[in-house]
């Protein structure tokens, strides 16, 4: 993509430097906490399904071939991703029309309801065919609501954060992602260790899903207490009116090049993300014969380490730029996936830990940077909608299908190295996408004035502009 084409799409109109937004540190902190906590709850809910995939296959599908049960479970996991683009097309433009805050509150409560309801579904042994039907129904509710979550949460933080610290604040969104996965993995691991396999299949698997109800109410309360973002409040009424009449058509017509770039970036990032954070415990237990508890404990330790350094990655992206960090992560997966899976295949705890850590360090470069890089692709008046559409199209095609595709490919080829080759192919696409992406670190969001942390910075900017 040529730079002039990208500029035409992502920077449709220059904003005078004399207009400067001075952020309120307390409000930025509240916005970041509410968005990150909501994201943590979302991925806690989704992580539960991944980590309980084997158990859920036994509970909700007819007994017989264990591989068929696992494939059925992962197919149901993937179903939620099929409706994510629909959710993005509904909630994204709605967020550009009525505001980010209201839509994020709505997606939060819908996700909690869908997850809580899964914990109440009777097993296949109790109600037969209706068990998987109800499971699919509530997975669709989860997927539809999630369609408006990432685009809105990343937009919310990006529009609140000062330009020079957008990477740092944006990294808290994925801090929430890792926290949600850790919470889910930790709870499932503790339940497995305490209750045992039989009790988990009988009733233990329900406990984590039922916890989602009260957690959702907490997230809803935090989000409703926030003010709308400064960037959205600055939008002229005619810009919002345009969004109402035809935002989706405008997004596909005017921003299709940037959408393709967004889909490529998100696709590469999500294949590697879901492979490591969602699929890896199942790979260790189902393909390598590790116990559920051991596989989860190893991943839990690696994720806890990533949690400690992810904000440092955000700071580095503010200092050195988004592209160097994104390229490091993509090249890491391209070059290290095969050695990592060869190590994992050795079977010893040190080897598996080293292999998972190699993948984790590559992933954290993407996690800590992407939530600041993606919102900067689109201007304010279509940011929520365009990002939700591009992100969810890509996640639907490449992210949520990752466990299903890898399981099917391993079954077809008989090779336990299939996940490595799949990650390398995704990373190659990611390398090309990053190369075509324009650097946006420390720059104002497209269509918005500069955003600074202090009045002194604002005065300096105005002075520089006049001279």
Question: What average pLDDT does the segment 50-61 reach?
Answer: 77
* DSSP one-letter code for 452: E
Q: How far is CA 69 from CA 56, 79, 152, in A?
A: 9, 15, 35
pLDDT in tens, 177-234: 889 888 888 888 888 788 777 788 788 888 888 887 787 788 788 788 777 777 777 7
pLDDT in tens, 326-379: 999 999 999 999 999 999 988 788 898 999 999 999 999 999 999 999 999 999
Report how far residue 453's alpha carbon sits from residue 230's, in angstroms, rounded to the nearest whole number: 13
Torsion sign over Cα 452, 457, 463, 467: negative
For the question of whether the overall pTM of this predicted structure is more than 0.85, the answer is no
Question: Which of 11-20, 59-68, 294-303 has the highest average model confidence (pLDDT)?
Answer: 294-303
pLDDT bin (cut points 50, 70, 90) of residue 253 is: confident
User: Does 448 have pLDDT greater than 50?
Assistant: yes
Cα 15 from Cα 298, distance rounded (Å):
49
Average pLDDT value for residue range 89-108? 86
Q: Measured between alpha carbons, how far is 441 from 151 in angstroms, rounded to an integer? A: 19
Percent of the chain with pLDDT strictly greater than 70: 90
């Amino acid at each position: 993509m040529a730079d002039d084409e990208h500029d035409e799409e992502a920077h449709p109109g220059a904003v005078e430097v004399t207009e400067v937004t001075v952020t309120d540190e307390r409000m930025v902190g509240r916005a970041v906490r509410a968005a990150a906590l909501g994201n943590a709850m979302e991925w806690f809910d989704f992580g539960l399904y991944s980590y309980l995939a084997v158990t859920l296959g036994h509970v909700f599908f007819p007994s017989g071939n264990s591989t068929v049960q696992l494939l059925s479970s992962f197919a149901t996991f993937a179903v939620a991703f099929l409706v994510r683009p629909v959710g993005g097309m509904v909630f994204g433009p709605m967020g550009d029309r009525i505001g980010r805050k209201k839509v994020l509150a709505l997606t939060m409560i819908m996700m909690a309801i869908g997850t809580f309801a899964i914990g109440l579904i009777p097993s296949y042994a109790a109600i037969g065919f209706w068990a998987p039907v109800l499971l699919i129904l509530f997975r669709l509710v989860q997927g539809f609501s999630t369609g408006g979550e990432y685009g809105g949460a990343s937009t919310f933080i990006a529009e609140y954060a000062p330009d020079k610290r957008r990477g740092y604040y944006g990294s808290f969104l994925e801090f929430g992602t890792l926290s949600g996965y850790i919470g889910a993995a930790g709870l499932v691991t503790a339940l497995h260790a305490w209750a045992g396999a039989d009790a988990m299949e009988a009733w233990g698997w329900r406990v984590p899903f039922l916890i989602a109800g009260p957690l959702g109410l907490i997230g809803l309360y935090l989000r409703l207490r926030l003010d709308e973002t400064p960037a959205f409040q600055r939008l002229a009424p005619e810009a919002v009116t345009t969004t109402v009449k035809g935002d989706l058509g405008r997004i596909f017509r005017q921003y299709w090049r940037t959408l393709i770039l967004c889909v490529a970036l998100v696709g590469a990032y999500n294949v590697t993300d879901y492979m490591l954070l969602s699929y890896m415990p199942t790979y260790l237990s189902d393909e390598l014969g590790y116990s559920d508890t051991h596989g989860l404990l190893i991943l839990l330790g690696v994720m806890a380490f990533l949690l400690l350094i992810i904000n440092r990655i955000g700071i580095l992206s503010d200092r050195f730029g988004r592209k160097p960090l994104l390229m490091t992560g993509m090249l890491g997966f391209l070059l290290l996936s095969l050695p990592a899976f060869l190590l994992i295949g050795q079977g010893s705890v040190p080897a598996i830990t080293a292999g998972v850590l190699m993948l984790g360090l590559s992933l954290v470069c993407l996690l800590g940077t992407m939530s600041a890089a993606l919102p900067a692709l689109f201007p304010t008046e279509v940011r929520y909608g365009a990002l939700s559409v591009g992100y969810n199209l890509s996640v639907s095609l490449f992210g949520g299908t990752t466990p299903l595709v890898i399981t099917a490919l391993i079954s077809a080829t008989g090779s336990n190295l299939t996940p490595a080759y799949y990650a390398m192919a995704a990373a190659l696409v990611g390398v090309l996408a990053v190369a075509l992406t324009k650097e946006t670190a420390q720059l104002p969001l497209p269509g918005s004035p500069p955003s600074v942390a202090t009045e002194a910075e604002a005065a300096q900017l105005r002075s520089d502009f006049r001279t």
